[in-house]
A = this chain, B = another copy of it.
Amino acid sequence: MRVRLEDVARAAGVSPKTVSRVLNDEANVTDATRERVRAAMEAMDYRPHPSARSLAGNRSFLVAMLYDNNDNPASTYLAEIQDGVLEACDAHRYSMMVRPLRMRDGDFIRRFDALISDHHPDGVVLTPPITDHAPLLKRLRERNVPYASVSPLRHGKTIGVAMDEQLAARAIVEHLLELGHRRIAHVIGIADHGASRWRLAGYREAMAAAGLSEEPALVVQGAFTFGSGVEAARQLFSLAKRPTAVFAANDDMATGVMWAAGEYGLKVPHDLSVCGFDDTPLSRQLWPALTTVQQPSREMGKIAAEQLLSVLRGNPGRLVQVPFSLQIRGSTAIAP
Contacts and interface: CB of A to CB of B under 8 A. Distances in A.
Interface of A: 45, 47, 49-52, 54-55, 60, 69, 73, 75-76, 78-79, 82-83, 86, 93, 95-98, 100, 117-120, 225-227, 230, 256, 259-260, 262-263, 281-282, 284-287
Contacts of A281: 73, 225
Given A79-B75, A287-B230, A51 B47 contact: no
Given A76-B75, A83-B100, A119-B95, A263 B287 contact: yes
A230 to B, nearest CB: 6
Contacts of A226: 282, 285-286
Contact of A51 (B55, B73, B96): B55
Given A75-B75, A225-B281, A259-B286, 11 more contacts: A47-B118, A49-B55, A49-B120, A50-B51, A50-B119, A52-B55, A75-B79, A76-B76, A225-B285, A230-B285, A262-B262
Contacts of A82: 98
A236 to B, nearest CB: 15
Contacts of A69: 83
Of listed A49, A82, A282, A285, residue having the most chain B CB within 10 A: A285
Contacts of A263: 287
Nearest to A89: B97
A102 to B, nearest CB: 12
Most buried by B among A54, A284, A287: A287
Given A54-B51, A118-B50, A97 B100 contact: no
A123 to B, nearest CB: 16
Contacts of A227: 284-286
A227 B96 CA distance: 33
The 10 closest A-B pairs by CB, nearest first: A227-B285, A51-B54, A51-B51, A262-B262, A51-B55, A75-B79, A47-B117, A226-B285, A52-B55, A75-B76
Contacts of A256: 285
A54 to B, nearest CB: 4
Contacts of A49: 55, 120
Contacts of A284: 227
A96 B45 CA distance: 25
